[in-house]
Amino acid sequence: MSFKGFPPETLGFLEGIHAHNEKAWFDENRALYEAGYVAPARAFVEELGPRLKAIAPEVQYEAKVNGSMSRINRDIRFSKDKRPYKEHLGLWFWHGDRRQWDVPGFWFELTPQHLQLGVGIYMLHGEALDAYRQSVIHPRSGKALLAAIAAVGAKGKYEIGGKTRKLMPRGFEAGPDRAEYLLYEGLYVSISLPAEAAGKPKLADLCLKHYAAMWPVGQWLLAEVRDG
């Protein structure tokens, strides 16, 4: 199907799963899930994915569940929250040979209340976290980070996220202009829009505009953390 905006069934399904997060309701409304979640999400990925390559030529996508389309089922094995289903529609466009979360990418999250667009890495671990910190303290890459953040700030009211620490990590120091970024264990940029924006026929154009504005931070991560 060609993409003409997420249909009313999308928010209808998300509102329903929020109110009735249980297998019985999901089974009874599987047709709504297919019409409101799977089919339009696949069509949107097929439209947006190729166009994202104009911003980030190496970006990867797959128009399927467990590809760019997140599974609706939650992993509840080790969680106190036993709700079986996610209550949002999530899409992910990543860098690298396989789909993973600890690489720079673009995300799309739709709930009945908002549409959130983001660029970057939500959480860094292990060697990637160490590489990030080394890049923050290095004079050249640290300066490039500040330039990337300034470039994003000049394009609009975007939120810089990923700050999780209260104390500096042991063994790392940076000048006052960038020491704060050593408190980050992820680095991403995001913006929240009204949920109704997802129903517009030119949604891909809107997303591309914001992704391009936020991409300097993703580009820095790609150059200095993944490949640095």
**In whole angstroms, what is the distance from residue 226 CA to residue 206 CA?**
28
Q: Write down the pTM of the prediction.
A: 0.94
Whole-Å CA distances, 208 to 74, 79, 217 = 29, 35, 15
For range 195-224, the mean pLDDT: 97
Domain ranges of the chain: 8-226
pLDDT tens digits, 41-89:
999 999 999 999 999 999 999 999 999 999 999 988 888 889 999 999 9
Distance of CA 127 to the CA centre of its chain: 21
User: Directed axis angle between helix 39-52 and helix 203-221, to 10°?
Assistant: 50
**In whole angstroms, what is the distance from residue 44 CA to residue 158 CA?**
23
- The CATH class of 8-226 is alpha beta
Residue 228: pLDDT band (50, 70, 90) is low
For range 137-153, the mean pLDDT: 97
Residue 96: pLDDT band (50, 70, 90) is confident
E-strand ranges in 83-215 read: 89-94, 105-110, 114-121, 159-163, 184-194
Whole-Å CA distances, 32 to 7, 126, 151, 227 = 11, 41, 41, 42
* Exposed / middle / buried, residue 86 (Cβ in 10 Å: 0-12, 13-18, 19+): middle
What is the rounded average pLDDT for all residues in the chain?
A: 95
**In whole angstroms, what is the distance from residue 85 CA to residue 18 CA?**
9
Residue 159: pLDDT band (50, 70, 90) is very high
Query: Of 186 and 78, which is predicted with more confidence?
Result: 186
pLDDT at 1: 60
